[in-house]
Amino acid sequence: MRHKGVELTEWRPMRQIRVEHSGHELAVWLDDLSPFRAFGDPLPAEPLSDKAVLDWTSTLDQAWRLLVSRHTEQAEGLATGLAALVPRPRRNRFRDSSATSADAFGLVELTLPTDAPRLAAVLIHEFAHSKLNGLFDLVTLDVEDRDEICYAPWRDDPRPLHGLLHGVYSFLAVTDFWRAEGVDDMRTSASSCTGSRPRTPPTPSSAVVCSPMSANVLSPRCGSTC
């Protein structure tokens, strides 16, 4: 079998990972074979080693136990809608990467995070994108036809309102996750995501908009409005 100059000497079935905890099961395909598994041009098959598959299975099993035990609502959504994980080569040893597509509901392309809590957070983040993409397919929302571009704290470039809504929705889901995990874990996660990112000061106009909102934010550090 040949694809893009890469020949496999034997037929390989796609692996499925099944994990279970307290009666809740998650079954996902681990797609390292399909030429259309990612969101760009067709790719050659890149079968994972047996050790790599064990790493994915073990980390997902631990992440699933965490989600079922402490984030049941998120776990139920993932069990229903998450369909496939596509391993992505790690290009930066200190930074995870992940992506979803509006054309592939329930599929997440990602590097394998270094631990189970980070994998759980990535799945929550990306599945939030999938849910919002599904909503956009079902309901016509005003943001789809707006031309404004807006400052996004997590990006270097301005984003259209549609993209800004995606970011806010997905990062709020991640914030809920780390808040439930506790202050220490939240600080660790925040430093891993933002430690190497320069902080851009808000423009005068964005400061006017954000100041009233930030005054009422519940601080995870002290447990009250600070």
pLDDT confidence bin for 212, thresholds 50/70/90: low
Q: Is 133 exposed, middle or buried (0-12, 13-18, 19+ CB in 10 A)?
A: middle
Beta bridge partners of 98: 110
H helical segments located in the chain: 50-70, 72-81, 116-138, 161-181, 183-194, 204-214
Beta bridge partners of 149: 160
Cα 158 to Cα 184: distance, rounded to the nearest angstrom: 31
Please write the tens of the pLDDT for every residue from 109-168. 999 999 999 999 999 999 999 999 999 889 887 766 677 788 888 888 888 888 888 999
Total-model pTM: 0.76
Displacement of CA 46 from its chain's centroid (Å): 22
Task: Give the least confident one: 61-65, 91-95, 209-213.
Answer: 209-213
C-alpha to C-alpha distances, 55 to 19, 60, 62, 108, 200, nearest whole angstrom? 13, 8, 11, 17, 37
